[in-house]
Amino acid sequence: MTSLLSIPNILTVTRIFVTPLLVSFLLTSGHERALLGAALFLAASLTDALDGYLARKKKQITTLGKLLDPIADKLLNCAVFIALVELRMAPAWIVYIIIAREVLITALRVKALQKKIVIEASWIGKLKMLAQTCTIVLLILGRNYLGEYSLLGKASLWFVLILTIWSGVSYVVKFIKSDPKNLPVSQQTTIDPVISSLKKA
């Protein structure tokens, strides 16, 4: 029970509960309070780095944390992207692709956990998350604060789209290759004892 109430897990759960409040603020505050909206989103995003750092430093890495942390990240970004579509700050079709990718990868991640397959996070995926965060901030600020540099947000969104597709395909390929059923027979005989030991653990 103590591990479930660890500071990293509390930060992750807080990020989940803050998401609808942030979206509501963005949709109702108007353009004049965009700076505060961007600051709130950035603060929520920074809790991701903070909970990961604390989990490693305090050795409080839990199965619940591993499951909730990526869900919290995707929920926050996807929800804010949807709000930006509603505010006409982002094209709907690009956001649809981003959300579809996140849903697909989350489903594959759950399936991988069920099969006791560990797929390490790739640098492409990490870069995608960073790019999403920066892009959302740029789009929220928009013309009110960036002036002639407001196009940076739209250009960055295209970069996010490329990384979204690239990282999605990369993860699917890793998932397929890591499934024991798709390995050559010689490799399957090597990995079977490992899987058996995991099941007994």
Question: For the segment 145-187, what is each residue's pLDDT rounded down to a tens digit?
Answer: 887 778 899 999 999 999 999 999 999 999 888 876 665 544 4
Q: Write down the pTM of the prediction.
A: 0.81
Domains of the chain: total:
1
Amino acid in position 173? V
Q: Is 1 a domain residue?
A: no
In a domain, 2, yes or no: no
Say if 99 falls within a structural domain: yes
Q: Is the pLDDT of residue 19 over 90?
A: yes
Return d(Cα 84, Cα 54) in angstroms, integer.
Answer: 31
Note whether residue 110 is domain-resident. yes
The CATH number linked to 78 is: 1.20.120
CA gap 181, 201 in Å, rounded: 21
The whole-angstrom separation of Cα 94 and Cα 43 is: 25
Tokens linked to 104: 């697909």
95 and 82 in contact (C-beta within 8 Å)? yes
Q: Which residue segment(s) compose the domain that 168 sits in?
A: 7-200
- Is there a domain that residue 180 lies in? yes
Q: Which range is least confidently modeled, 130-134, 159-163, 192-196? A: 192-196
Is 21 within the bounds of a domain? Answer: yes
